[in-house]
Amino acid sequence: MYKRILITGANGLVGQKLTAIFAEDRSMDLLATARQPATANTSSNFGYTPLDMTSRGDVKELVWNFEPDVIINAGAYTNVDGCEREKEVSWRANVTAVENLVAASRLTGAKLLQISTDYVFDGKSGPYDETAMPNPLSYYGREKLAAENAVRNSGDNWLIVRTMVVYGIAQQVKKNFAIWLSGELSQGRNVRVVDDQFGNPTLADDLSRGIYELVRRGKKGVYNIAGADFISRYDFAVRLAKTFGFDPALISPIKTSDLSQPAPRPLLSGLITLKAQAELGLNFFTADESLRLFKGQYLESASLQNGD
């Protein structure tokens, strides 16, 4: 069935990946939005318009005029330590914006899909399934849980997708962990990586593929979408080094407490994805599979930047 899709936060890593996969489906009319002008390549397959999601009037006007069947919110303030320092700014981006989308979705009956995080959990008894009780440690986690609750209270036409440790390559996006690590190791620099934070590293392409299938199949409710392997950040870093041919000896394990970060992290986290796998017929990528894809994207991006 023909659907109209509105993607917010379209300039970010996940937003760009979502825009790309939905634009390929000609049975969908796609409109991408973000606060700033488009950074990704636009095409005749979809439209783009700037949008400040913290302005309820602007959000309502856009949704009323476009009349989407599904709104996918890929916009967020994801700097976890920044959320501790800039509580008002991050609340507007992570909660107020979602409340505005909820209000707008009621105008047209649109389904709202909110991308959430494992940070809604305390990381004491992971991995977590969709029924686990949230208990966030950080302000970022509390914001994302508040956004989830706003979506849950909007009625019965919604989706919440929890994910974690998302990485990948896209145009003009901030450095994620894998991009930073690749750059440091390529220069032969020593790095320190925590070995007491466990979870599922997730390639943005894999997350977007899962979200596309959820939308295409008309699903509702809460779903976990994350990489297949439950490993530590240090283990992931070593696997990245081996995939690229870097020296793993450059990576030293440390503890989270050594970093003195403003925001507490969930240590034994992770997401169980059996529900999404069973209902969507998907197997999410292992860490090694994801890293091989990431390596190809990283080298292609570096080649383009160098003008090769």
- Rounded distance between C-alpha atoms, residue 111 and residue 78, angstroms: 23
The b-or-e profile of 226-252 (16+ CB within 10 A means b, else e) is bbbbbbbbbbbbbbbbebbebeeebbe
- Rounded distance between C-alpha atoms, residue 107 and residue 48, angstroms: 21
- Rounded distance between C-alpha atoms, residue 280 and residue 284, angstroms: 11
The b-or-e profile of 42-70 (16+ CB within 10 A means b, else e) is eeeebebeebebbebebbbebbeebebbb
Is 223 a known active-site residue?
Answer: no
- Rounded distance between C-alpha atoms, residue 94 and residue 292, angstroms: 32
Here the tokens at position 108 are 């047209």
The amino acid occupying position 270 is G
Among 140, 223, 234, 298, the active-site one is 140
The amino acid occupying position 144 is K
CB atoms within 10 A of CB 261: 14
Active-site positions? 140
